[in-house]
Amino acid sequence: MSASANTSSIHQTAQMLRSNEPMPSIESIGTSVTSRIDYNLRFSKQVVLVVGKDTEQYSPLASQFLVSLSDVSSLDIQNSQFNVAFISASSKLNDIQMRCRLIEQLFVNTLFDPEQSLAVSVLRFAKQQGESISIVIDHAHALSLQVKYELCQLVTLAKKNKLTINVVLFGLMEAGQQLSINKSLFKSKVAIIDAGNGQILSMDDNKMRVEKSVSPLLLWQKVSLVSAMILIAAALIWVYLIIAEDVNQQAIKAQETKLSGDHKVLVTKSSINSSSTEQTTIQLQKKKKIEAKENPIINTVAIAQATSEDINLLLSTANSDVYIEEIPAEVGDILQALGVVAKYVENDVVITEEEIFNESQPAEISGHYYQTKAKEYKSGYVVQISVFSDENLLQQFLKQHNKENFHTYQRRLEADNSTVITSKVFQNKAEAKAAIELLPTQLIERKPWVKSISSVINEMNTFQG
């Protein structure tokens, strides 16, 4: 079927429309709309969209425009370049089906790709055949946005290639609203005509605006919904507060239980410590009497005022694992307990009681030891093991390392009192460094370091000041 045969078919259809559908009621409006369409096709060369409120308003105009296209009786149809496609769109037809119907009407017995855009396929066939084309689509609101955009591209490209391709669409007002929503794609590419009065409509016209759907909820329903949400939120907050209070109470009970257990252990240790101290004092007194009888040669018997170091030596017990609570003692109490500090000779070697008990003495918190050693060694050094500001942690550390010969002193740093644990005082720095290598692995991991006895005394002065 040739293009001229297709044109003849359109001409016969138009003759039947003129004879069967006179349409006297819309004759004047139809003439105005048809003239407006013809004007836009001749001069603006854009896609024309005629929109109406219902089918009865725009569909007869589509038929009337199709009849106007067939008014070529004065021309030789066989020699005219006239090719028309008329399609009634439907939501049941997809994009591929719409492309197939358009191309089959325009170019009969031609192979084409239905998935290819109309702007490509129709333009290529129009160049090959060199004829004018008119596309008329009724119920354009059923077309997809993609097909509408392809038709606009087809008209624009035909204009650049100096081809005549006219596209006229007829549909409901929804078609114009769809273009208005996407006006960035269709601006200056589509002319919208009102089917009621033949006037040009802008995409920003009030008729093109989509009415916003009103919420079906009434005022009392909205109030009820907000109230329900507030009640739910209040209930959740109330449940959260109850759970938080319960957790806090459990934590307080657990802490009280722990403190009570620690207090019982401390009382038990204190009682053990008291009995152990009494037994140690009695044993020392008995040992002195026995040694005095066995050794007839007594070098010296000296009565001297006891120091804090002597007090700590006296209070040390044979069982180093027992926690000892240090209590200050008076000089009279010490003299009454020990009597005298004796020096005696055993196997031609002078031995003092201080040397006897120095092997397993616990840490003492006193500054007299460092002051005495400072007078003995002009440049003495100690190994600083660790520093504690928490008394509980200090006692745990001393208990864990009860076999070590520690000495301690107190210092003040930025309004914070702390206890420093050191080794005994060495005569020089080399001996102090060598002593570090002999420490247990757990103490070496604490990174002990050597400091001078003068710096120790300075730190002690800050605490006393």
Structure confidence at residue 134 (pLDDT): 92
Question: If you average pLDDT over residues 399-421, what whole number do you get?
Answer: 82
390 and 348 in a common domain: no
391 and 353 in a common domain: no
- The total domain count for the chain is 3
Structure confidence at residue 150 (pLDDT): 93
Question: If you average pLDDT over residues 381-406, what whole number do you get?
Answer: 87
Q: How confident is the model at residue 374 (pLDDT cuts 50, 70, 90)?
A: confident
193 and 63 in a common domain: yes
336 and 322 in a common domain: yes
Condensed to tens digits (0 to 9), the pLDDT of residues 71-118 reads: 654 334 444 456 899 999 999 999 999 999 999 999 988 888 999 999
Q: How confident is the model at residue 359 (pLDDT cuts 50, 70, 90)?
A: very low
Residue 253: inside a domain? no
Q: How confident is the model at residue 358 (pLDDT cuts 50, 70, 90)?
A: very low
Condensed to tens digits (0 to 9), the pLDDT of residues 156-165 reads: 999 999 999 9
Asked whether residue 276 carries a pLDDT value surpassing 80, the answer given is: no
Asked whether residue 365 carries a pLDDT value surpassing 80, the answer given is: no
Between 231 and 414, the higher pLDDT residue: 231
pTM of this prediction?
0.43
Condensed to tens digits (0 to 9), the pLDDT of residues 166-202 reads: 999 999 999 999 998 998 989 889 999 999 888 888 8
Condensed to tens digits (0 to 9), the pLDDT of residues 28-61 reads: 666 788 888 888 888 888 899 999 999 999 999 9
User: How many Å apart are CA 374 and CA 311, to the nearest integer?
Assistant: 20
178 and 32 in a common domain: yes
143 and 12 in a common domain: yes
Asked whether residue 290 carries a pLDDT value surpassing 50, the answer given is: yes
378 and 310 in a common domain: no
> Which domain does 347 fall in, by range?
277-359
164 and 105 in a common domain: yes
Question: If you average pLDDT over residues 276-280, what whole number do you get?
Answer: 61
